Amino acid sequence: MEERRTNRMMKIGIGNDHAAVDMKNEVVEFLKEKGYEVVNFGTDKKESSNYPEYGRKVAEAVAAGEVDLGILICGTGVGISLAANKVKGIRAVVCSEPYSAKLSRQHNNTNVLAFGARVIGIELAKMIIEEWLNAEFMGGRHQDRIDMITEIENENE
């Protein structure tokens, strides 16, 4: 009950390019079934599009607090996560397996998850998402390390 209430309050921004329209739609359904609110910043068309546009939109929404977390999907998850990571305050991780997804939350407090529609299937994507969303940041020495990342970000504005 408690988990469901928390899930209902959480808003997730999703972004994708043309390579990931079908997977995006399945992920949106999955998240809604789990009780998350989803905001779609991605394209719904399969004509060639530019992943930086969607990575940026989701990242800026996360950074501004318009959504709590972001999920990005392109062909590999690489380009769209690179774009997201250029937005101040964003820690985006590309994951093709659940272990790194979970640890990226616990240790690195990632606020954006990315993966590739041409790399993994929908069932693995769901497992990755679940591990990522259910993990909690552990703080302590991990916060110190994130502060060091933020320092690099601040010094390179």
- The phi and psi torsions of 66 (rounded to 5 degrees) equal -70, -30
Does position 75 bind ligand RB5 by CB under 6 A?
yes
Is 142 flagged in the annotation as binding? no
Q: Which of 76, 104, 110, 111 binds ligand RB5 (CB under 6 A)?
A: 76
78 binds ligand RB5 (CB under 6 A): yes
Q: How far is the CB of 94 from ligand RB5 (least distance, A)?
A: 9
Torsion of CA 99, 100, 101, 107, to 10 degrees: 110
- Stretch 3-42 residues interacting with ligand RB5 (CB under 6 A): 17, 19
Three-state SS sequence of 29-68: HHHHHCCCEEEECCCCCCCCCCHHHHHHHHHHHHHCCCCC
- State the Cα–Cα distance between residues 135 and 153, nearest whole angstrom: 25
Query: Is 62 annotated as a binding-site member?
Result: no
Binding residue ranges for D-ribulose 5-phosphate = 17-18, 75-79, 108, 118, 141, 145
Q: Which residues of this protein are in contact with ligand RB5, per CB under 6 A? A: 17, 19, 51, 74-76, 78-79
